Amino acid sequence: EIVMTQSPVTLSVSPGESATLSCRASQSVRTKLAWYQQKPGQAPRLLIYGASTRATGIPARFSGSGSGTEFTLTISSLQSEDFAVYYCQQYDHWPPLTFGGGTKVEIK
Amino acid sequence: QVQLVQSGAEVEKPGASVKVSCQASGYPFTAYYIHWVRQAPGQGLEWMARISPNTGGTNTAPKFQGRVTLTRDTSTGSAYMELNRLTSDDTALYFCARTQDSGSLLYFDMWGQGTLITITS
């Protein structure tokens, strides 16, 4: 089973600043990595797939990068609606599909 | 409108079983896998299993093998997840979610609203 590790657990950022979230895989997942945003009481929403491709309707301030075992989600100029929990998910080696533990982006 | 709509919240006793439904609409039901992902209170996301509505084939995470049964009804566009031998650790929000019907494109582009399952004696 591929273990996904996200850091930091919590990230405090002021509105308008940028945020950099990390995700590490226990072995290479090539670029089969997705990012999701989840707000309280809601289902997750797909942001990025293929490590760097934005999903339909996702603003350009969200960008993903990386391959192999190291991945990054960058949110530039954070808006109020961006404060949420973010999860990475690998889909290269399955079953099982696996998620990281999440990073909470909170208002500083 | 493309959506997945799940059945309502359930309260069950330890040792019982629960069955959750997921109704798909707005897209060809057999063109996408349906997966089940759960989230314990205050915790992260955990993948449980998936079904191919086209073939009925399933895959299950080792942790849930022998306890989860996935079925589908192509006439109504519905998928079902039954979980047996419930314990308090199964208290969680259960989501259905879809991916493309391809083993290499398994990212979730649509989710149901979630079904809260509470296990209490």
Instruction: Give A-chain residues touching B60 at CB under 8 angstroms.
Output: 95
User: Which of B102-105's residues contact partners 24+ apart within 8 Å by CB, and which partners?
Assistant: B104/A32, B104/A91, B105/A49, B105/A91
pLDDT tens for each residue of A55-93: 999 999 999 999 999 999 999 999 999 999 999 999 999
Q: Does A13 touch chain B (CB under 8 A)?
A: no
Q: What's the pLDDT score for residue B103?
A: 77
pLDDT of B109 > 90? The answer is yes
Residue A103 pLDDT level (bands cut at 50, 70, 90): very high
Select the residue from B43, B59, B104, B108 to test the A interface by mutation, using most A Cβ atoms within 10 A.
Answer: B108
Average pLDDT over residues B68-74: 98
Model pLDDT for residues B3-32, shown as the tens digit of each residue: 999 999 999 999 999 999 999 999 999 999
Q: Say yes or no: A34 contacts chain B, CB-CB below 8 A.
A: yes
The answer to whether the CB atoms of A99 and B44 lie below 8 A apart is yes
Task: Tell me phi and psi for residue B65, to 5 degrees.
Answer: -60, 135
Express each pLDDT in A10-63 by its tens digit: 999 999 999 999 999 999 999 999 999 999 999 999 999 999 999 999 999 999
Residue A37 CB partners (closer than 8 Å, separation 6+): A44, A45, A47, A82, A84, A85, A86
Residues 6+ apart with CB under 8 A from B99: A91, B32, B33, B35, B50, B105, B106, B107, B108, B109
